[in-house]
Amino acid sequence: MSFLFGSRSNKTFKPKKNIPEGTHQYDLMRQAAATLGSGNLRLAVMLPEGEDLNEWVAVNTVDFFNQINMLFGTITEFCTEDSCPLMSAGPKYEYHWADGQTVKKPIKCSAPKYIDYLMTWVQDQLDDETLFPSKIGVPFPRHFNTIAKTILKRLFRVYAHIYHQHFQEVVQLGEEAHLNTSFKHFIFFVQEFNLIDKRELAPLNELIDKLATGSSHSHHSLHHNTHTAATESSAHISSLPAR
């Protein structure tokens, strides 16, 4: 959970999304944080016994938004209109923005602009009580799974951009362990509940494979594999759809 970042990474790109204290989701978040603190990420992502799947996905989606928010906040000075004129994840993957409402036809834009659009859009979804109800007894919408999948698919693109375009800056800032732990947690979660299509994960396939086969590796060994894996994965698979 977000507590992994401690006090070192308190800079955020967007306002942090807080789950209200006193709610069941808040209790669930604290329970998840305690489990995550054990260091077993595969165990930490599993649905707690007797809990509602939608609530579990909702709590974790909020937390991943906050984690990615903090991670991108640490490298915003390096991700500029000049350094990243296109939103990409290596030379083979370019993303165009469309939210299906205000922007229906995908548009090319810089990485900082794309991520601003993306994080604002996610924030709006998380703040909508009809989509992410926080009160006990208020049901989740029937299409909640589809909503969560779209949010997580788009959040993955920020990880992919950071790994491909800004990993060296992350290393220079001493934040690679935070990035690796956050991404590993994210991947284990979406794999556990089949929330992102494998094709969407293609830009970081090599890294994801290393995480899956070496889940007990230290942050140090993962650090040595990360940049190579991110570079390799961009060379073999054709571009993803823009949206």
Q: Which residues are annotated as a binding site?
A: 79, 84, 161, 166
Cα separation, 130 vs 227, whole angstroms = 40
Annotated binding site for Zn(2+): 79, 84, 161, 166
Cα separation, 89 vs 94, whole angstroms = 6
Cα separation, 208 vs 202, whole angstroms = 9
Structure tokens at 153: 């698919």
Let me know: does 84 contact 162? Beta carbons within 8 Å. Answer: no
198, 201, 206, 209 alpha-carbon torsion, rounded to 10°: -50
H helical segments located in the chain: 24-36, 41-44, 53-74, 111-127, 144-172, 176-192, 205-213, 219-233
